[in-house]
Structure 1
Amino acid sequence: IQEFIPHGASDIRAFVLGDRVIASMRRVGGGWKTNVARGATPTPCDLPEDYEGLAVRAARLVGCEMAGVDILEGPDGPLVVEINSQPGWRGLQSTTKVDIAREIAGFIVGKASRLSRKEG
């Protein structure tokens, strides 16, 4: 059982890649569920700096270099409610000019290059 957190029928998805958030969106639903797959509307969202830090720390705590971090804005401030290690980004891509697939590919290529130099 999880405590219900009043959140105004919206939440924030922050897409973490490495040590930064590359894109974020607000998901607005008709009720307490705010999944885009369940009909919520993705809208652009400029993530406050403290939310970005929260998302990056949350992903790092569970060992994810790529994660979709879901944040509720509750009455006592932001709360991380879910960390997705294999996040989808279809809804998110519609709200940002960032080419998310390109960012992910660049991150992987850069990491592979650093690892091969380390081992070589």
Structure 2
Amino acid sequence: MRLCFLVEEQYRYDGMPLDVIRQLGAWGHQVDVLWPGRSLISISEAIQAGSHDAWVLKTVSGGPGLTLLEAAACVGLTTVNDVRAIRGVRDKALAAVIARSSGLPVPVTYAAARAEEFAQIPGAQYPLVVKPADGSSGRAVRLVESPEQLLDQALSAEPGEGGGAAGGLLIAQPYVPNSGTDLKVYCVAGELYATERCSPLHLGRAVRERQVPLTPEVARIAAEIGAVFGLDLYGVDVLLGPDGPVVVDINDFPSFRQVPDAVARVSAAVLHLARKGPRQPVVDLASPATAPLAAIGGDR
């Protein structure tokens, strides 16, 4: 097979996806690599119908690679993950609406362009977790104990911080009491794996990242996320709160740390998905007029 990987600058030396690229090459497949953040790309030649069996993206939120992946999808090429699914989870405000409307356990979510607007949220919902709607890798996630802390200018969505862009949205959610650890549930083409790790808001804790068993409830939630968003390679951050599991983040193509034989499993999944072709997310972001909010999460 012939594949094209789009790798953002942040992952230039990252084992995921570079080890996957090497593995696919070792298996005899042709893998072209494009670096959207540091090279000139002749898109007229590179993005053509039939040029590759699939395009694969490893990117940061707001990175240029997503536009190129969308262009590949527009000319009929298979993308891994489905490009509409990636767009749906990269915008955390959009993802929260889709997930909650689909019956998934996510916190109540507020959005604003300026952090001080969150002072209107009832005091009973504090502390709040505030982060950029287009953030990634846990950057710029802050715990706000009271409305007075919202005056801190560091909470504003500024260029380059956590993927936030000038004028971009911030989101706020009530803090979910937890043990200081969270679960990162990875999905590799239908196979689920769970890792326990230190929560980004409790980084001072000495918690060894390790693989843990999945409960039926968390497994059901993780699988439902894949179905709702149309994702095949993804990660879900889950907190075990006092009222049960709560989804606090969804990531396309994560690191897959602690997944046994992760490189071989992800490489095999990429090939399988490339052969399978595009999948249709339950929520079709390309046709909002045909998927009104009330219908999101309907019959599947």
The residue number in structure 1 matching 2:224 is 57
Which structure has the greater CA radius of gyration? 2
Percent identity, aligned pairs only, is: 23
- The answer on 1:32 being equivalent to 2:194 is no
- The answer on 1:104 being equivalent to 2:291 is no
How do residues 13-92 of structure 1 correspond to structure 2 at under 5 angstroms?
13-21=184-192, 23-29=193-199, 32-33=201-202, 41-89=208-256, 92=257
The one-character-per-residue Cα deviations of 1:67-99 (angstroms, maximum 9, x if unpaired) are: 11111000000011110013113xx22xx5x11
Please give the alpha-carbon distance, in whole angstroms, between the structure 1 residues aligned to 2:189 and 2:254. 14
8 Å CA contact 1:20, 1:56 repeated in 2? no
The residue number in structure 2 matching 1:8 is 179
Please give the alpha-carbon distance, in whole angstroms, between the structure 2 residues aligned to 1:54 and 1:108. 23
Please give the alpha-carbon distance, in whole angstroms, between the structure 1 residues aligned to 2:272 and 2:254. 20
User: SS of 1:2's equivalent?
Assistant: strand
Structure 1 consecutive aligned stretches of length 4 or more whose deviation exceeds 3 Å: none
Q: Which has the higher contact order (CA 8 A, sep 6+)?
A: 1
Q: Mind listing any 5+ residue stretches in structure 2 that lack a counterpart?
A: 1-171, 278-300
Shift of 1:40: 5.6
Please give the alpha-carbon distance, in whole angstroms, between the structure 1 residues aligned to 2:244 and 2:175. 14
User: SS of 1:26's equivalent?
Assistant: strand
| TM-score, length of structure 2 as denominator length | 0.32
The one-character-per-residue Cα deviations of 1:42-66 (angstroms, maximum 9, x if unpaired) are: 1221111221111111132222111
| TM-score, length of structure 1 as denominator length | 0.74
More strand by share: 1
Aligned residue type for 1:12? L
How many residue pairs align between the two structures? Answer: 104
8 Å CA contact 1:24, 1:44 repeated in 2? yes
